[in-house]
Protein backbone atom coordinates (compact mmCIF):
# COMPACT_ATOMS: atom_id res chain seq x y z
CA UNK A 1 0.00 0.00 0.00
CA UNK A 2 2.31 2.71 -1.19
CA UNK A 3 0.95 6.05 -2.09
CA UNK A 4 1.10 6.54 -5.84
CA UNK A 5 3.09 9.68 -6.74
CA UNK A 6 2.11 11.33 -9.98
CA UNK A 7 4.25 14.30 -10.94
CA UNK A 8 2.24 16.23 -13.50
CA UNK A 9 4.43 19.20 -14.46
CA UNK A 10 2.45 22.39 -14.04
CA UNK A 11 -0.49 23.36 -11.87
CA UNK A 12 -2.69 23.25 -15.00
CA UNK A 13 -1.54 19.68 -15.68
CA UNK A 14 -2.49 18.68 -12.13
CA UNK A 15 -5.96 20.16 -12.66
CA UNK A 16 -6.47 18.41 -16.00
CA UNK A 17 -5.31 15.05 -14.74
CA UNK A 18 -7.30 15.24 -11.51
CA UNK A 19 -10.45 16.18 -13.42
CA UNK A 20 -9.79 13.30 -15.82
CA UNK A 21 -9.66 10.89 -12.86
CA UNK A 22 -13.02 12.16 -11.65
CA UNK A 23 -14.50 11.98 -15.14
CA UNK A 24 -13.24 8.40 -15.51
CA UNK A 25 -14.98 7.51 -12.26
CA UNK A 26 -18.35 9.10 -12.92
CA UNK A 27 -18.78 8.50 -16.67
CA UNK A 28 -19.28 4.72 -16.26
CA UNK A 29 -20.67 5.09 -12.72
CA UNK A 30 -23.15 7.98 -12.81
CA UNK A 31 -24.24 7.46 -9.19
CA UNK A 32 -20.70 7.93 -7.85
CA UNK A 33 -20.15 9.58 -4.48
CA UNK A 34 -17.47 12.26 -4.50
CA UNK A 35 -15.68 13.89 -1.60
CA UNK A 36 -14.59 17.43 -2.39
CA UNK A 37 -12.26 20.11 -1.00
CA UNK A 38 -12.18 23.89 -1.11
CA UNK A 39 -9.12 26.17 -1.18
CA UNK A 40 -6.94 27.40 -4.06
CA UNK A 41 -5.59 23.99 -5.06
CA UNK A 42 -8.72 22.36 -6.54
CA UNK A 43 -9.99 25.49 -8.31
CA UNK A 44 -8.43 24.48 -11.64
CA UNK A 45 -9.85 20.98 -11.28
CA UNK A 46 -13.35 22.38 -10.79
CA UNK A 47 -12.92 24.67 -13.81
CA UNK A 48 -11.92 21.66 -15.89
CA UNK A 49 -14.90 19.63 -14.62
CA UNK A 50 -17.18 22.52 -15.61
CA UNK A 51 -15.57 22.50 -19.07
CA UNK A 52 -16.01 18.72 -19.39
CA UNK A 53 -19.67 19.15 -18.46
CA UNK A 54 -20.24 22.05 -20.88
CA UNK A 55 -18.19 20.85 -23.86
CA UNK A 56 -18.05 17.10 -23.52
CA UNK A 57 -21.35 16.21 -21.89
CA UNK A 58 -19.98 14.91 -18.57
CA UNK A 59 -23.06 14.48 -16.40
CA UNK A 60 -23.42 14.95 -12.65
CA UNK A 61 -27.19 14.55 -12.40
CA UNK A 62 -26.97 11.44 -10.23
CA UNK A 63 -23.67 12.18 -8.47
CA UNK A 64 -23.65 12.85 -4.72
CA UNK A 65 -20.99 15.04 -3.10
CA UNK A 66 -19.68 15.59 0.41
CA UNK A 67 -17.35 18.48 1.27
CA UNK A 68 -14.55 18.19 3.75
CA UNK A 69 -15.26 21.13 5.97
CA UNK A 70 -17.02 24.41 6.74
CA UNK A 71 -16.23 27.36 8.98
CA UNK A 72 -18.15 27.30 12.24
CA UNK A 73 -20.64 30.14 12.61
CA UNK A 74 -20.27 31.39 9.06
CA UNK A 75 -23.64 31.44 7.29
CA UNK A 76 -23.86 29.57 3.96
CA UNK A 77 -24.49 32.88 2.13
CA UNK A 78 -21.28 34.47 3.50
CA UNK A 79 -18.87 35.16 0.66
CA UNK A 80 -16.15 33.08 2.34
CA UNK A 81 -18.31 30.11 3.32
CA UNK A 82 -17.29 26.83 1.75
CA UNK A 83 -20.89 26.26 0.62
CA UNK A 84 -20.65 29.50 -1.36
CA UNK A 85 -17.21 28.52 -2.72
CA UNK A 86 -18.60 25.25 -4.05
CA UNK A 87 -21.72 26.87 -5.51
CA UNK A 88 -19.63 29.45 -7.36
CA UNK A 89 -16.77 27.21 -8.57
CA UNK A 90 -18.72 24.05 -9.40
CA UNK A 91 -22.28 23.30 -8.36
CA UNK A 92 -24.02 26.18 -10.14
CA UNK A 93 -22.21 25.38 -13.40
CA UNK A 94 -23.02 21.65 -13.59
CA UNK A 95 -26.24 19.64 -13.53
CA UNK A 96 -26.06 18.38 -9.94
CA UNK A 97 -29.27 18.82 -7.91
CA UNK A 98 -28.65 20.90 -4.77
CA UNK A 99 -29.99 18.19 -2.45
CA UNK A 100 -27.25 15.82 -3.64
CA UNK A 101 -24.53 18.22 -2.44
CA UNK A 102 -23.60 17.99 1.23
CA UNK A 103 -21.64 20.73 2.95
CA UNK A 104 -21.59 20.81 6.74
CA UNK A 105 -23.77 23.61 8.15
CA UNK A 106 -21.61 26.08 10.07
CA UNK A 107 -24.74 27.60 11.61
CA UNK A 108 -26.17 24.31 12.94
CA UNK A 109 -27.64 24.58 16.43
CA UNK A 110 -25.73 21.53 17.63
CA UNK A 111 -22.27 20.82 16.20
CA UNK A 112 -22.13 17.22 17.40
CA UNK A 113 -25.55 16.42 15.90
CA UNK A 114 -24.57 18.07 12.60
CA UNK A 115 -21.37 16.01 12.44
CA UNK A 116 -23.15 12.76 13.32
CA UNK A 117 -25.77 13.43 10.61
CA UNK A 118 -22.99 14.05 8.06
CA UNK A 119 -21.32 10.71 8.89
CA UNK A 120 -24.70 8.94 8.77
CA UNK A 121 -25.47 10.45 5.36
CA UNK A 122 -22.14 9.21 3.96
CA UNK A 123 -22.95 5.72 5.24
CA UNK A 124 -26.48 5.89 3.80
CA UNK A 125 -24.99 6.81 0.39
CA UNK A 126 -22.72 3.75 0.47
CA UNK A 127 -19.48 5.55 1.34
CA UNK A 128 -17.31 7.89 -0.70
CA UNK A 129 -15.83 6.54 -3.95
CA UNK A 130 -13.15 9.19 -4.34
CA UNK A 131 -12.17 11.99 -1.98
CA UNK A 132 -10.28 14.93 -3.48
CA UNK A 133 -7.95 16.65 -0.98
CA UNK A 134 -5.55 19.53 -0.70
CA UNK A 135 -2.83 19.72 1.93
CA UNK A 136 -1.93 22.53 4.32
CA UNK A 137 1.68 23.65 4.60
CA UNK A 138 1.57 22.20 8.14
CA UNK A 139 0.44 18.83 6.74
CA UNK A 140 -3.25 19.22 7.59
CA UNK A 141 -5.94 17.54 5.53
CA UNK A 142 -9.41 19.08 5.75
CA UNK A 143 -9.13 20.98 9.07
CA UNK A 144 -7.41 18.07 10.81
CA UNK A 145 -4.53 20.04 12.26
CA UNK A 146 -1.33 18.42 13.62
CA UNK A 147 -2.24 16.36 16.67
CA UNK A 148 -5.39 14.91 15.05
CA UNK A 149 -5.84 11.17 15.46
CA UNK A 150 -5.78 8.84 12.46
CA UNK A 151 -9.21 7.49 13.38
CA UNK A 152 -10.82 10.89 14.08
CA UNK A 153 -14.36 11.44 12.81
CA UNK A 154 -16.31 14.52 11.77
CA UNK A 155 -16.18 17.11 14.57
CA UNK A 156 -15.81 20.73 15.65
CA UNK A 157 -12.13 21.77 15.80
CA UNK A 158 -10.03 24.84 16.61
CA UNK A 159 -7.95 26.24 13.74
CA UNK A 160 -4.25 26.81 14.34
CA UNK A 161 -2.76 30.33 14.04
CA UNK A 162 -0.84 29.03 11.00
CA UNK A 163 -4.04 28.02 9.19
CA UNK A 164 -5.78 31.29 10.14
CA UNK A 165 -2.78 33.18 8.68
CA UNK A 166 -2.75 31.04 5.50
CA UNK A 167 -6.45 31.72 4.91
CA UNK A 168 -6.15 35.50 5.42
CA UNK A 169 -3.32 36.17 2.96
CA UNK A 170 -5.72 37.95 0.60
CA UNK A 171 -6.78 34.86 -1.40
CA UNK A 172 -9.80 34.40 0.83
CA UNK A 173 -10.02 36.60 3.93
CA UNK A 174 -7.97 39.83 4.02
CA UNK A 175 -7.66 40.14 7.79
CA UNK A 176 -6.83 37.32 10.24
CA UNK A 177 -9.37 38.84 12.65
CA UNK A 178 -12.15 37.95 10.21
CA UNK A 179 -11.26 34.25 9.96
CA UNK A 180 -13.47 32.04 12.13
CA UNK A 181 -11.52 30.34 14.92
CA UNK A 182 -13.31 27.02 14.58
CA UNK A 183 -14.59 24.76 11.85
CA UNK A 184 -16.53 21.57 11.33
CA UNK A 185 -14.33 19.02 9.60
CA UNK A 186 -14.51 15.48 8.35
CA UNK A 187 -12.06 13.42 10.40
CA UNK A 188 -9.00 11.59 9.18
CA UNK A 189 -10.88 8.33 9.72
CA UNK A 190 -13.80 9.70 7.68
CA UNK A 191 -11.44 10.52 4.81
CA UNK A 192 -9.55 7.24 5.07
CA UNK A 193 -12.82 5.34 4.69
CA UNK A 194 -13.09 6.62 1.09
CA UNK A 195 -12.39 3.91 -1.47
CA UNK A 196 -9.91 6.20 -3.24
CA UNK A 197 -8.11 9.35 -2.10
CA UNK A 198 -6.61 11.87 -4.51
CA UNK A 199 -4.48 14.54 -2.84
CA UNK A 200 -3.45 17.51 -4.96
CA UNK A 201 -0.52 19.79 -4.14
CA UNK A 202 1.00 22.58 -6.17
CA UNK A 203 3.74 25.13 -5.55
CA UNK A 204 7.03 25.08 -3.69
CA UNK A 205 5.33 26.09 -0.44
CA UNK A 206 3.73 22.64 -0.24
CA UNK A 207 6.94 20.66 -0.90
CA UNK A 208 7.98 20.25 2.77
CA UNK A 209 4.49 19.04 3.78
CA UNK A 210 4.33 16.65 0.80
CA UNK A 211 7.76 15.22 1.61
CA UNK A 212 6.87 14.83 5.28
CA UNK A 213 3.54 13.18 4.39
CA UNK A 214 5.03 10.72 1.91
CA UNK A 215 8.45 9.94 3.33
CA UNK A 216 8.18 10.68 7.05
CA UNK A 217 6.74 8.55 9.84
CA UNK A 218 2.99 7.96 10.06
CA UNK A 219 1.92 10.04 13.03
CA UNK A 220 -0.22 12.91 14.25
CA UNK A 221 2.51 15.52 13.67
CA UNK A 222 1.63 15.35 9.98
CA UNK A 223 -2.06 14.45 9.51
CA UNK A 224 -1.55 13.70 5.79
CA UNK A 225 0.96 10.97 6.73
CA UNK A 226 -2.05 8.87 7.84
CA UNK A 227 -2.73 8.39 4.11
CA UNK A 228 0.44 6.30 3.68
CA UNK A 229 -1.36 3.08 4.53
CA UNK A 230 -4.55 3.84 2.60
CA UNK A 231 -5.41 1.07 0.13
CA UNK A 232 -5.74 3.40 -2.86
CA UNK A 233 -4.24 6.84 -2.47
CA UNK A 234 -2.48 8.99 -5.04
CA UNK A 235 -0.72 12.34 -4.70
CA UNK A 236 -0.94 14.46 -7.87
CA UNK A 237 1.87 17.01 -7.67
CA UNK A 238 3.30 19.72 -9.82
CA UNK A 239 7.08 19.78 -10.23
CA UNK A 240 7.52 22.32 -7.44
CA UNK A 241 5.43 20.49 -4.85
CA UNK A 242 7.27 17.26 -5.73
CA UNK A 243 10.70 18.88 -5.64
CA UNK A 244 11.89 17.55 -2.30
CA UNK A 245 10.09 14.16 -2.12
CA UNK A 246 12.14 10.98 -2.63
C1 LIG B 1 -10.18 22.75 2.19
C2 LIG B 1 -9.36 22.05 3.18
C3 LIG B 1 -7.93 22.41 3.44
C4 LIG B 1 -7.13 22.78 2.21
C5 LIG B 1 -5.70 23.15 2.58
C6 LIG B 1 -4.93 23.67 1.39
O7 LIG B 1 -11.48 22.22 2.14
O8 LIG B 1 -9.87 21.20 3.79
O9 LIG B 1 -7.30 21.33 4.08
O10 LIG B 1 -7.13 21.73 1.30
O11 LIG B 1 -5.70 24.13 3.58
O12 LIG B 1 -5.49 24.88 0.98
P13 LIG B 1 -5.06 25.57 -0.40
O14 LIG B 1 -5.50 24.68 -1.48
O15 LIG B 1 -5.82 26.88 -0.40
O16 LIG B 1 -3.59 25.74 -0.35
pLDDT > 70: what percent of the chain? 100
Question: Which residue puts its alpha carbon closest to atom 11 of ligand 1?
Answer: 136
Mean pLDDT along residues 13-42: 98
pLDDT at position 110, please?
A: 98
pLDDT at position 245, please?
A: 87
Any ligand 1 atom below 6 A from CB of 168: no
Residues 61-74 pLDDT 10s = 999 999 999 999 99
Tell me the average pLDDT of the chain. 97
Residues 214-241 pLDDT 10s = 999 999 999 999 999 999 999 999 999 9
In this predicted structure, the answer to whether residue 32 has a pLDDT above a threshold of 90 is yes
Residues in Cβ contact with 140 at an 8 Å cutoff, skipping those fewer than 6 apart: 146, 148, 160, 163, 223, 224
- Going 184 to 189 to 190 to 191, the CA torsion angle's sign is positive
Helices 43-56 + 11-26 axis angle, to 10: 50
- Going 120 to 153 to 88 to 12, the CA torsion angle's sign is negative
pLDDT at position 183, please?
A: 98
Residues 192-209 pLDDT 10s = 999 999 999 999 999 999
Residues 159-172 pLDDT 10s = 999 999 999 999 99
Tell me, in angstroms, the distance from the centre of ligand 1 to residue 56's CA: 28
pLDDT at position 212, please?
A: 98
Any ligand 1 atom below 6 A from CB of 86: no
pLDDT at position 246, please?
A: 83
Tell me, in angstroms, the distance from the centre of ligand 1 to residue 216's CA: 21
CB 116 within 8 A of CB 101: no
In this predicted structure, the answer to whether residue 145 has a pLDDT above a threshold of 80 is yes
Name the phi and psi angles at 145, rounded to 5. -80, 165
Catalytically active residues, by annotation: 69, 138, 140, 145
Any ligand 1 atom below 6 A from CB of 180: no
| Pairing relationship of beta strands 155-158 and 182-185 according to DSSP bridges | antiparallel
CB 244 within 8 A of CB 211: yes
Any ligand 1 atom below 6 A from CB of 40: yes
Tell me, in angstroms, the distance from the centre of ligand 1 to residue 68's CA: 9
What is the best residue among 44, 135, 168, 191 to mutate for testing ligand 1's pocket, by most ligand atoms within 8 Å of CB?
A: 135
Tell me, in angstroms, the distance from the centre of ligand 1 to residue 41's CA: 7
Any ligand 1 atom below 6 A from CB of 187: no
Residues 94-142 pLDDT 10s = 999 999 999 999 999 999 999 999 999 999 999 999 999 999 999 999 9
Any ligand 1 atom below 6 A from CB of 106: no
Ordered DSSP codes for 196-224: EEEEEE-SGGGHHHHHHHHHS-SSTTSGG
Amino acid sequence: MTVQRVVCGTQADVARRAAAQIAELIAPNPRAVLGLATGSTPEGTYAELVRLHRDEGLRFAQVTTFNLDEYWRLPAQHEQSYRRFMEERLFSAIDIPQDQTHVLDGMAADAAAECAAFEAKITECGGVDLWLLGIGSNGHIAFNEPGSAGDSRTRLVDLTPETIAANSDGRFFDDPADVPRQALTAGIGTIRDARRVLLLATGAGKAPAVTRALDGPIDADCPASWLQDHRDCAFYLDTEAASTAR
